[in-house]
Amino acid sequence: MSDISLIGMMSIFTAGLSIGLGAIGPAIGEGLALANAMRALAQQPDKANTITRTLFVGMALIESTAIYCFVVSMILIFANPFWNYVLDRSGG
Amino acid sequence: MSDISLIGMMSIFTAGLSIGLGAIGPAIGEGLALANAMRALAQQPDKANTITRTLFVGMALIESTAIYCFVVSMILIFANPFWNYVLDRSGG
Amino acid sequence: MSDISLIGMMSIFTAGLSIGLGAIGPAIGEGLALANAMRALAQQPDKANTITRTLFVGMALIESTAIYCFVVSMILIFANPFWNYVLDRSGG
Amino acid sequence: MSDISLIGMMSIFTAGLSIGLGAIGPAIGEGLALANAMRALAQQPDKANTITRTLFVGMALIESTAIYCFVVSMILIFANPFWNYVLDRSGG
Amino acid sequence: MSDISLIGMMSIFTAGLSIGLGAIGPAIGEGLALANAMRALAQQPDKANTITRTLFVGMALIESTAIYCFVVSMILIFANPFWNYVLDRSGG
Amino acid sequence: MSDISLIGMMSIFTAGLSIGLGAIGPAIGEGLALANAMRALAQQPDKANTITRTLFVGMALIESTAIYCFVVSMILIFANPFWNYVLDRSGG
Amino acid sequence: MSDISLIGMMSIFTAGLSIGLGAIGPAIGEGLALANAMRALAQQPDKANTITRTLFVGMALIESTAIYCFVVSMILIFANPFWNYVLDRSGG
Amino acid sequence: MSDISLIGMMSIFTAGLSIGLGAIGPAIGEGLALANAMRALAQQPDKANTITRTLFVGMALIESTAIYCFVVSMILIFANPFWNYVLDRSGG
Amino acid sequence: MSDISLIGMMSIFTAGLSIGLGAIGPAIGEGLALANAMRALAQQPDKANTITRTLFVGMALIESTAIYCFVVSMILIFANPFWNYVLDRSGG
Amino acid sequence: MSDISLIGMMSIFTAGLSIGLGAIGPAIGEGLALANAMRALAQQPDKANTITRTLFVGMALIESTAIYCFVVSMILIFANPFWNYVLDRSGG
Amino acid sequence: MSDISLIGMMSIFTAGLSIGLGAIGPAIGEGLALANAMRALAQQPDKANTITRTLFVGMALIESTAIYCFVVSMILIFANPFWNYVLDRSGG
Amino acid sequence: MSDISLIGMMSIFTAGLSIGLGAIGPAIGEGLALANAMRALAQQPDKANTITRTLFVGMALIESTAIYCFVVSMILIFANPFWNYVLDRSGG
Amino acid sequence: MSDISLIGMMSIFTAGLSIGLGAIGPAIGEGLALANAMRALAQQPDKANTITRTLFVGMALIESTAIYCFVVSMILIFANPFWNYVLDRSGG
Amino acid sequence: MSDISLIGMMSIFTAGLSIGLGAIGPAIGEGLALANAMRALAQQPDKANTITRTLFVGMALIESTAIYCFVVSMILIFANPFWNYVLDRSGG
């Protein structure tokens, strides 16, 4: 097990784990919010504008936590400083 | 256990784990939203248009977290930089 | 433990795990949606058309997350690039 | 531990795990839907036709996720490409 | 640990695990459905026929997921292709 | 660790695990159904016959999943083909 | 670790695990049923006979799943075919 | 690690595990039943006799699952056939 | 690792585990019962006698499952037949 | 790893685990009871005496399960027969 | 790994685990009680005295289970008989 | 396994785990808040301003716990003092 | 692995685990209490003083369990008697 | 594995775990509180001031448990006494 394969394996595994775990919370949170927005629309169809606007701004805020995970995942795959270092060292 | 088999095994396992875990949250979240949309339709059938439009835009947003996972999964299988490196190195 | 058996074992295990995990979320999510559609039909039997159409479009969207898992599972069994590489290398 | 026994063991284990896990979600989802169909029938016995038809179409859709798992399980037992390869190689 | 005992042990364990796991979901799903059928009967005793028929058809559909598990379990005990192969090979 | 003790140990463990796990679901499912039957009886005592009959037919269906587990457990203890094979082979 | 101690240890452990796990489900299921019987009695004290009879027949059915576990547990301690075989073989 | 210490250790551990696990279900089940009996008494104080009698008979039935576990636990400590055998064999 | 330290360690660990696990269920069960007794007292303060008597008899029954665990725990610490045997054998 | 350090380590670990696990159940159970006592007081402030007396007697009973754990924990730290034996034997 | 480091490590780990686990239950239990006290105050603001007094006495009782854990934790860090013994023995 | 690869692997894994775990809580918490804001808007559409302002300030506070995790994650990837030290030491 | 690194590693890990686990309970407990205080304020805005005072005294009591964990964590990092002993011994 | 890499790895891992775990509780607790504040605002929009003030003071108190975790995490990364000691000793 060379350094390269160890760093590589761990980067691959962490990239998948981080987005895999990180998709659970936001999806359930957004589902909860959307579900109640449906009820709100049924109760006050005249205020669809206000409700929809607040809903999408809020969902964007929740989505941001999923995006943090995606960003970490992409950094680990395409811009990983640890990987770059071991490649440099091995004269890659 | 050569480097190639280690990187390969980890890529395979992570690809499956990431989409496997990542399908749980969005599916439950979308189910929750759709369930309440059903109730809203039953309460305000005249506003079916507004309700359905908001529903599908919201579900697309939730679906996006599942798609992040699918993207990571596909990258790991078909465009994996770690795999490409070890192939290059072994003169593949 | 040759490379071939390691890559093979991991592909088999991941194919099963990914569809096994990935069937839990969509099935529960669709069950939730269908359950509320039943209630909506009982409340507004005259709007069965609108309700049923929205239901099946939504369930198709939820089903898509199960299909992502199935696709990954099939790729790993029948079109696995890692397996193909190790077969090629071993002169298969 | 020869390659044959490793690939064989993993195929057996995964076949059972995949259908074992994959039966939990659909069964609970269908139970939920059926439970609410019972309530809907009690509320609107005159619309039994519409309710029952939507119910069984929906349950078939949920059942499909269990069937994906069953298919993977059967492929692993009776049409496993990895097993076939190692048999061929060992001149079986 | 010969190949025979490894394949044998794994088949035994998987047979039990698959039916053990696979009995949880259907039993709870059917229990849920039956529980609500009780309520429906109490509410609309005159429609006992329609309710009971839909109930038993639905429960049969749920039972099918338990039966998939039982089938896999029986195949692994009595018609296991991996076991048959290793027996043949050892000249059994 | 001879083959005999390995196959024996695994059979013992799986027999217990399979019935141990398999008793959880049916017991809770039947408890749920019985609990609601109690409520139904309190609401419609005049229809005790219809309710009780549907209840016991349904509970028998749920019990069947526990019986699948018990059958697998008994097969593994008293009619285990893997155990019989290793006994035969060792000239038992 | 002789065969005798391995088979013995596994039998002891499985006997305890199987009844330990198997007591959880039935006890909770019966508790649920009894709890609702209490409510039913408070609602319809005049029908105590019908309610109590259905309750105890149902609880006996639930208890049966606990008894399956107890039977497996007793077989493993006092009539264990695997243990008897290894005793015979060691000339016990 | 002699046979005696292995069989002894496993008996001790299983005795504790079996009663430890087996106390969870019955205690919660009885608590549920008692809790609803309290409500029933508050609703129908005149029928305290009927309610209390059914309650204690039911709780005795639930307690029986805890007693199965206690019996297995006591057998393993004081009348353990496996322990007796290894003692006899070692000429104890 | 002599036999004495192995038997000793396992006895200590099991004594703590058994009472630690066994305290969870009864405490929650009794809390549930007491909580509903509070509500019953608030509803029918004139029947405080009947309610309190049934409550404490029931709680004693629940407490008994915790006491089973405590008894096993005390036996393992102060009257452990396995420990006594190994002490005797080592001429203690 | 001498006998002394093994027995010592296990006693320390078990002392902490037993009180750590054993504090969860009673605290939640007492919290549940106290929570409902608050509601009862708000509903029947004139009966504060009866309610409070029953509450504290009940909570003492629940507390007793936490005290069992604490007693086992203290015995293991300050009056541990296994530790005393190994000290005596090593001529301490 | 000398005896001193083993006993030391285990004491450190157990001290943290015991208070870490032991803080979960009491905090949730007290939160539950406080939450309902809020409601009670809103319902009967004139009885704030009685409610608050009962609340704080009850919360002190719940807090006591957290304090048991803290006491065990402090004994393990500052007055640990096992640690003192190994220090004495090593002539510390 | 050189120091560099160990420190590197652990940094990669922790960066992913910390943001992966840390995204679950905030996303669900914000979803809960947003869901109730929807209901509040439907109830008091005239106060949309006050509700929306409080909502977004509160969500920012919740988001801050996700940001702590993201900060730790970024520090571990791009400004890791442990990594810098081992690089310096190896004359990097 | 010298004594120093073992004691050091365990202290670091336990410090983080103890505060990490210990923050879950109090935060949820306080959130529950605060959530109900919001409702109480909406119901009885005139008694804001009494409600707020009781709330903050209660929350301080809950916070105390988090502080126990923080104290143990700080002791382990900055005033650790085990660490001090091993430093002294190594002539530090 | 030198002392430096062991202490370093454990510090990195604990820093991430402690903030990762510690973000779950506070975020959910604050979400719960904010959710109920939304309802309170919808019920009593005229008291927005009192409600908002109590809300933010309470949320700050909950946030404090997340901050304890963040503080421990930062100490472990930037002011770690164990790391400083091993650096000093290695003449760093």
Q: So what's the pLDDT on residue H1? A: 57
CB-based contact N10 M13, cutoff 8 Å: yes
d(Cα I80, Cα J85) in Å, to the nearest integer? 14
Which residues of chain M, if any, have pLDDT below 70? 1, 91-92
Please, are residues L21 and A65 in contact by the beta-carbon 8 Å criterion?
no
Give me the percent of chain I exceeding a pLDDT of 90.
71
Select the residue from A11, A13, A30 to test the B interface by mutation, using most B Cβ atoms within 10 A.
A30
Which residue does chain M place closest to K16, by CA atoms? M18
Where do we find the tokens 């019985």? F34
Burial A25-56 (b: 16+ CB within 10 A, else e): bbbbbbbbbbbbbbbbbbbbbebbebbbebbb
CB-based contact F27 G89, cutoff 8 Å: no
Q: Where are the alpha helices (DSSP H) in M1-92?
A: 3-22, 24-43, 48-78, 81-89
CA of D84 to nearest chain E CA: how many angstroms apart? 11
d(Cα L32, Cα L17) in Å, to the nearest integer? 24
Which chains would you list as touching A if contact means 3+ CB atom pairs under 8 Å? B, L
Select the residue from J54, J59, J87 to test the I interface by mutation, using most I Cβ atoms within 10 A.
J54
Q: Which residue has the higher pLDDT, A91 or H44?
A: H44
Candidate from M5, M24, M34 with C-beta closest to N58: M34
pLDDT of G29 strictly over 90: yes
M8: region left, alpha or beta (phi > 0 left; psi from -120 to 50 alpha) = alpha
* L/N Cβ contact: 3+ pairs below 8 Å: yes
Query: Which residues of chain G make contact with H6, given a CB cutoff of 8 A?
Result: 1, 5, 8-9
**pLDDT tens-digit readout, A25-68:** 999 999 999 999 999 999 888 888 889 999 999 999 999 999 99
d(Cα K46, Cα I74) in Å, to the nearest integer? 50
d(Cα A67, Cα I5) in Å, to the nearest integer? 53
Q: Where are the alpha helices (DSSP H) in chain K?
A: 3-22, 24-43, 48-78, 81-89
Q: Which amino acid is at A65?
A: T
pLDDT of A1 strictly over 70: no
Please, are residues E43 and E51 in contact by the beta-carbon 8 Å criterion?
no
**pLDDT tens-digit readout, H49-81:** 889 999 999 999 999 999 999 999 999 999 999
* G/A Cβ contact: 3+ pairs below 8 Å: no
Q: Which residue has the higher pLDDT, I87 or C31?
A: C31
Q: pLDDT tier at D1 (50, 70, 90 boundaries)?
A: low
For the beta carbon of residue D24, count every other beta carbon within 10 angstroms. 26
Where do we find the tokens 């875990």? B21
Tokens at residue J6, please? 């093994």
Tell me what the mean pLDDT of segment D27-50 comes to: 92
CB-based contact D86 C8, cutoff 8 Å: yes
Please, are residues D39 and E36 in contact by the beta-carbon 8 Å criterion?
yes
**pLDDT tens-digit readout, H8-38:** 999 999 999 999 999 999 999 999 999 999 9
**pLDDT tens-digit readout, C31-85:** 999 999 999 999 888 888 889 999 999 999 999 999 999 999 999 999 999 999 8
**pLDDT tens-digit readout, J11-70:** 999 999 999 999 999 999 999 999 999 999 998 888 888 899 999 999 999 999 999 999
d(Cα L73, Cα A18) in Å, to the nearest integer? 11
Q: What is the DSSP string of chain I?
A: --HHHHHHHHHHHHHHHHHHHHTHHHHHHHHHHHHHHHHHHHH-GGGHHHHHHHHHHHHHHHHHHHHHHHHHHHHHHHS-HHHHHHHHHTT-
Rg (CA), chain K: 20
Candidate from J17, J55, J58 with C-beta closest to I16: J17
Tell me what the mean pLDDT of segment K75-82 comes to: 92
Q: So what's the pLDDT on residue A5? A: 84
Q: So what's the pLDDT on residue B62? A: 94
Q: ipTM for the complex?
A: 0.88
Which residue does chain E place closest to F30, by CA atoms? E31
pLDDT of C1 strictly over 90: no
Spell out the residues 6+ positions from residue E27 whose beta carbon is closer than 8 angstroms to its own. Answer: E66, F25, F26, F28, F29, F30, F62, F65, F66
d(Cα K64, Cα K70) in Å, to the nearest integer? 10
**pLDDT tens-digit readout, E13-31:** 999 999 999 999 999 999 9
Q: So what's the pLDDT on residue F61? A: 93
Tell me what the mean pLDDT of segment F48-56 comes to: 91
Select the residue from A1, A5, A11, A12 to test the B interface by mutation, using most B Cβ atoms within 10 A.
A12
* M/N Cβ contact: 3+ pairs below 8 Å: yes
Tokens at residue I27, please? 């405490």
Looking at residue L80, the DSSP 8-state letter turns out to be -
Q: So what's the pLDDT on residue K26? A: 94
Per-residue pLDDT tens, chain L, 92 aa: give them: 577 888 999 999 999 999 999 999 999 999 999 999 999 999 888 888 889 999 999 999 999 999 999 999 999 999 999 999 888 887 65
Which residue does chain E place closest to D34, by CA atoms? E33
pTM of the model: 0.91
Candidate from L27, L43, L48 with C-beta closest to A50: L48
Q: pLDDT tier at C19 (50, 70, 90 boundaries)?
A: very high
CA nearest neighbour of D27 among F65, E61, E38: E61
Q: Which amino acid is at K74?
A: M
Q: So what's the pLDDT on residue K47? A: 86
CA nearest neighbour of C67 among I2, G45, B19: B19
CA nearest neighbour of B51 among C48, C54, C38, L48: C54
Q: Which domains does chain L have, with CATH numbers?
A: 3-90 (1.20.20.10)
Q: So what's the pLDDT on residue K1? A: 57
Look over chain F and give the mean of its residue pLDDT values, rounded to a whole number: 90
CB-based contact N39 L39, cutoff 8 Å: yes
CB-based contact C32 B31, cutoff 8 Å: yes
Where do we find the tokens 């155990």? F83
Rounded to 10 degrees, the C-alpha dihedral K60/K61/K65/K66 comes to -10
d(Cα I71, Cα I82) in Å, to the nearest integer? 16
CB-based contact B28 A28, cutoff 8 Å: yes
For the beta carbon of residue I39, count every other beta carbon within 10 angstroms. 18
For the beta carbon of residue K88, count every other beta carbon within 10 angstroms. 10
Query: Which residues of chain K make contact with M72, given a CB cutoff of 8 A?
Result: 15-16, 19, 70, 73, 77
Q: Which amino acid is at M71?
A: V
d(Cα I71, Cα L75) in Å, to the nearest integer? 53
CA nearest neighbour of E48 among G77, F51, G41, A58: F51
Q: What are the angstrom distances between the C-alpha of H45 and each of G40, G55, J52, J54?
A: 14, 21, 21, 18
Spell out the residues 6+ positions from residue N56 whose beta carbon is closer than 8 angstroms to its own. Answer: L57, L61
Looking at residue D82, the DSSP 8-state letter turns out to be H
Report helix angle L48-78 to A48-78, nearest 10. Answer: 0
d(Cα C1, Cα B57) in Å, to the nearest integer? 50
Q: Which amino acid is at M13?
A: F
Tokens at residue H1, please? 């690690």
Q: Which amino acid is at B77?
A: I
